[in-house]
Structure 1
């Protein structure tokens, strides 16, 4: 039934998205919510690479591990907030984004900040998920 699953759409009466996201994500009433702390680009050894792109890749790897730990899939993600301290290489980011989401994009916000929680963190990605 349509009201028992997560649905996404871009209303026709407004401009389309300027990136790989959806304007509206609707969560069914019976869904269980998962709110994750922002994930960062730390590698398995607990280090932060100097490269923004490496940190982006590590962040997506960490998000995938988080999803797996809760038996969630990318389709359960309903909202993504991306915070970065330097210009994002969108070709790189979009490759990681498409690898995770395919063509089923969640709602998304991006912001540039002077600094994140630690000086070596260049990107932090927060996810909200729902499982009907």
Structure 2
């Protein structure tokens, strides 16, 4: 079972993520490549929110294929082509809705763009399960 860490000796996270996640010995690890907001037929969702929801759904499908669940996610790394307040708020809202009470370690990074200018977000994840 994963153990989240938020020591009082460091600042409290400003939203629903953990400062660290401790993984038990002998866990199975899964490294999920960056997922885009593209469905299985190759259709790109329109806009940041739809692309993020689709990319997260892709992460969850890969977890399922590995007999894992969202609660096994150790860390999420989200790369977005915009860091305006609306984008950050959308990211937090969607992450919290899709992750529920599970608060993995997380990173949100604004980037100048992706290989395709229509891409708005890319999500990679690391998961561990016993």
Runs of 4 or more above 4 Å deviation = none
SS at match of 1:116: coil
Aligned-pair CA distance for 1:101 = 1.9
Could you say which residue in structure 1 is the equivalent of 2:13?
Answer: 17
Give me the TM-score of the superposition, normalised by structure 1.
0.87
| Residues 10-67 of structure 1, C-alpha deviations (whole Å, 9 max, x = no match) | 0012210012210010011211111010111012431223311111111111112111
Count of aligned pairs: 128
Could you say which residue in structure 2 is the equivalent of 1:27?
Answer: 23
Aligned-pair CA distance for 1:99 = 2.9
CA contact (8 A) 1:60 1:96 kept: no
Question: Is 1:104–2:102 an aligned residue pair?
Answer: yes
Aligned-pair CA distance for 1:98 = 2.2
SS at match of 1:89: helix
Instruction: Pick from 47, 52, 68 the counterpart of residue 43 of structure 2.
Output: 47
Structure 1's unaligned 5+ residue stretches are: none
Question: Is 1:75–2:88 an aligned residue pair?
Answer: no
Give me the TM-score of the superposition, normalised by structure 2.
0.88
Could you say which residue in structure 2 is the equivalent of 1:89?
Answer: 87
CA–CA distance in 2 between the matches of 1:79 and 1:107? 4
Structure 2's unaligned 5+ residue stretches are: none
